[in-house]
Amino acid sequence: MSVTAAPAPAPAPAAPADSATGWGHYASLDGLRTVAVYLVLVFHCGVGAFAGGFVGVDLFFVLSGFLVSSILLRELRTTGTIRLGRFYSRRVRRLLPAAVVVVVATCATSVLVLSSVRRLPLVGDAQSALLYVANWRFISQSNDYFAGDVVGQSPFLHFWSLAIEEQFYVVFPLVLLLLARLDRSWRRATLVGVAVLFVASLTAQLVWAAIDANQAYYGTGARLYQLLAGVLAALLFRSRFRPRGRGIGLVAAVSLACLLLVASGLVDVTPSWRGILATAASVSLILGLMGADQGLVARVLARPTPAYLGRISYGTYLWHWPVIILFGELMDLDPLAMVAVAGVLATALAALSYAVLEMPIRRSRVLQPLAWPTAVAGVALSVLVALTVVPGLLHSDRRPALPAAGSAVTGSEANRDGPVPSVDWERYVEDRGTDDTTCTLRNADNCVIVDGDGPHVMLVGDSHARMIAPALAKLAREHGFKLSVSLQESCPWQLGVYNAFEDRATQQRCTDIRDETFNDVIPNTDVDLVILSQIPRDTEAWRTKLLSTDPKPGETLEQRLVRTIDDTLTRVHDAGARALVIDSMLTVPRDSAAPLDCLAGATELAQCRVPVPIESPPSDAFYRAAAATMPGVHTVNINPIMCPAAPVCDPMDGDIPVWKDRKHYTPRALDLHRDEIWKALLDSGAFEGFDLG
């Protein structure tokens, strides 16, 4: 599950009660924020008993919708309008100062703790956090194969929920004003309008959950139903039908118990349904507290300590995730120890921020009358910091100062020693080889990257093929063959399987691209040779994730691989082309440091040597068996070229890093050895008889 974070807290209602509604300041709601904040904190620390603790964010969404709409509805009732400048100014003064400080402090700390390779992708994360579009950034990154391991390590990931709240705060007052005007001709316009929006968002949640879990989790439209549920609760509370009576206190107790049950690991449901259940429990809990403010649950939550912790919960949320991420770089703590460290440190920083920054700005008599100027100045400050301070800090190439230096991996005389040379790390972080290219019969010419006069070669595969594509393009120009590509990261090249780690939309896109390539493009564009490259999908983790589009009863992963590899290579042969399968490229074990990250923080090359397994992946045996038994099928292994000192590989070749990350060689390292790769391609026999320049 992706990281969660607290939405921005709504301002507490004014202390004097509204005699018409019974509305005033309910300390129990402050205490409810405490429940939410520490549910998420223990979840982020990895405490198994709270495997669903991310529902704390759902509680915050509902609570924020309830409080903000209650204040706006009261203003509408008493004044007939909403002073937008005043509302936006309060939001800016409440949210921006603390957020800017946390972002800048996190960037500065990252310079001390993280290598430049880890810091560079964080520039966009920090900027999107300050501009409140973080949820859309992480939606795009979550489907990025190269960024997949990095997204969850971003200390700014928790800003996704703040982005959704801010987007809600910008638009909702305008929607409420429009509905209030319609109320004059149709009394129930506000209730019906909010209800329609709620149903639309809930529908979007259910639809996206079946198609793209990332959209369902991070998407604004798919999460607004929780804020709107809070709005509906506020409308109900303000009506004559609001919950009352002795039993309402019991409702609050049962609702809190249900919420904690949903937050535990005992309820086995999808994240989407967990959020829906948490939303229902949150609405019931809030109305229960409001209707029985002297009940047991309300009295406990309203006690000074939980109420105070709730008032500073915004700061606790802002600080807790960077603390967990950055402190985790320094020490390997078990979940409960991390709860203690993160809980104490985040709470202390939040209390300090609340006392010396947030409250003075919120209570400033100078800023209060300057509504629109304050709102505009706050946004301008956030933009200025995003464009200047953030890249200024994170683009620094200084090595981290705090982590202990890695220990040297024992090598042999074949391994290189010496200091880490100066490297343009940003170049390697951003180099992804060739872009994804969808090759169809209708746009077959767009798939041609080198239009030579010799044989027509097509490269097909996932991100591994993308990394070697630039080297093959240069070889095509040097040796006169035509090169086309059909590339899609995270997509296996063989027909009849799909990657269940990806969402359904990606699975379908992979299937469509692969079917088009093998069924239409290759047979109809005079392809002479198909080069195939992909990450091996044959470990235990793939046993339930590399699935068949046409399941066979009792079929094992190994049988599925053999069947689909053979079927695909047969399809290539039947189309009149040869097939050359590149053996699985070496990958770095997960318990070893990522080489590029290690190099950016190390001083000696020996600290970043890479131990690699001696045994080949099972997939390579399947490729070779196919080559031994099927006509026109060949294999090639380029790993001895890239790692001549195996089983301990050097992290750099001259002044060029060998690995981009744990799963990929760098395109520049592959290009550096393209002459040796060309010789291996020729030695495979795949090019025999072709007219080459």
> What angle do helix axes 313-330 and 304-311 make, rounded to 10 degrees?
80
| Tokens representing residue 52 in the block | 């669903």
User: Distance between alpha carbon 75 and the CA centroid of its chain, in Å?
Assistant: 38
Distances (CA, A) of 340 to 4, 45, 240, 345, 456: 19, 10, 45, 8, 62
- Say what the pLDDT of residue 248 is: 86
CA gap 606, 409 in Å, rounded: 6
Question: Is 682 strand, coil or helix?
Answer: helix
- pLDDT over 60 at 583, yes or no: yes
pTM, 2 dp: 0.89
Average pLDDT rounded to a whole number, residues 510-527: 95
Angle (nearest 5°) at CA 426 between 423 and 430: 130
Q: Please count the residues of the chain.
A: 693
Average pLDDT rounded to a whole number, residues 668-684: 97
Distances (CA, A) of 182 to 176, 179, 371, 619: 10, 5, 27, 65
Beta bridge partners of residue 498, listed in sequence order:
547
User: Distance between alpha carbon 56 and the CA centroid of its chain, in Å?
Assistant: 19
531-569 pLDDT, tens digit per residue, is 999 999 999 999 999 999 999 999 999 999 999 999 999
CA torsion 403-404-405-410 (nearest 10°) is -130
Average pLDDT rounded to a whole number, residues 586-599: 88
418: burial class by Cβ within 10 Å (0-12, 13-18, 19+)? exposed
Tell me if 575 sits within 8 A of 527, measured CB to CB. Answer: yes
Across 374-511, the runs of DSSP E, i.e. the strands, are 448-450, 456-461, 482-487, 497-499
Residue 577 parent element (H or E): none
- Say what the pLDDT of residue 505 is: 86
Which DSSP symbol is given to 559? Answer: H
- pLDDT over 50 at 271, yes or no: yes
- pLDDT over 60 at 405, yes or no: no
CA gap 599, 214 in Å, rounded: 32
CA gap 321, 628 in Å, rounded: 53
CA gap 662, 659 in Å, rounded: 7
- Say what the pLDDT of residue 16 is: 38
Tell me if 275 sits within 8 A of 205, measured CB to CB. Answer: yes
| Tokens representing residue 591 in the block | 């318990």
**Residue 340, amino acid:** A
CA gap 470, 356 in Å, rounded: 54
Taking the CB of residue 497, how many other CB atoms lie within 10 A of it?
26
* Backbone torsions φ then ψ of 448, nearest 5 degrees: -85, 115
Tell me if 661 sits within 8 A of 596, measured CB to CB. Answer: yes
Average pLDDT over the chain, rounded to whole? 91
In the structure, what pLDDT confidence band is assigned to residue 401 with cuts at 50, 70 and 90? confident
Close Cβ partners of 45 (under 8 Å, ≥ 6 residues apart): 324, 335, 336, 338, 339, 342
| Tokens representing residue 26 in the block | 């309910």
Close Cβ partners of 617 (under 8 Å, ≥ 6 residues apart): 536, 538, 539, 584
Place of tokens 């005992």: 266
Tell me if 396 sits within 8 A of 116, measured CB to CB. Answer: yes
CA gap 614, 360 in Å, rounded: 62
Q: Closest Cα partner for 76 from 171, 167, 166, 179? A: 179
70-97 pLDDT, tens digit per residue, is 999 999 989 999 999 999 999 999 999 9
Q: What is the CATH number of domain 431-588+613-642?
A: 3.40.50
CA gap 520, 143 in Å, rounded: 27
Taking the CB of residue 356, how many other CB atoms lie within 10 A of it?
10
- Say what the pLDDT of residue 17 is: 43
**Residue 195, amino acid:** A
Tell me if 439 sits within 8 A of 521, measured CB to CB. Answer: yes
Distances (CA, A) of 116 to 101, 120, 276: 21, 6, 40
- Say what the pLDDT of residue 19 is: 35
CA gap 299, 26 in Å, rounded: 10
Residue ranges, comma separated, of all CATH 3.40.50 domains in the chain are 431-588+613-642
- Say what the pLDDT of residue 388 is: 97
Residue 246 parent element (H or E): none
Residue 17 parent element (H or E): none
In the structure, what pLDDT confidence band is assigned to residue 463 with cuts at 50, 70 and 90? very high
CA gap 204, 194 in Å, rounded: 15
Percent of the chain exceeding pLDDT 90 equals 77
Tell me if 107 sits within 8 A of 393, measured CB to CB. Answer: yes
Per-range mean pLDDT, top range of 207-221, 229-243, 346-360: 346-360
- pLDDT over 50 at 582, yes or no: yes
Question: Is 580 strand, coil or helix?
Answer: strand
Place of tokens 């921020």: 353
Alpha helices in 239-365 (DSSP H): 247-263, 271-291, 296-301, 304-311, 313-330, 335-353, 359-362
Query: Parallel, antiparallel, or unpaired for β 546-548 and 529-533?
Result: unpaired
- Say what the pLDDT of residue 3 is: 47
104-156 pLDDT, tens digit per residue, is 999 999 999 999 999 999 999 999 999 999 999 999 887 655 555 555 689 99
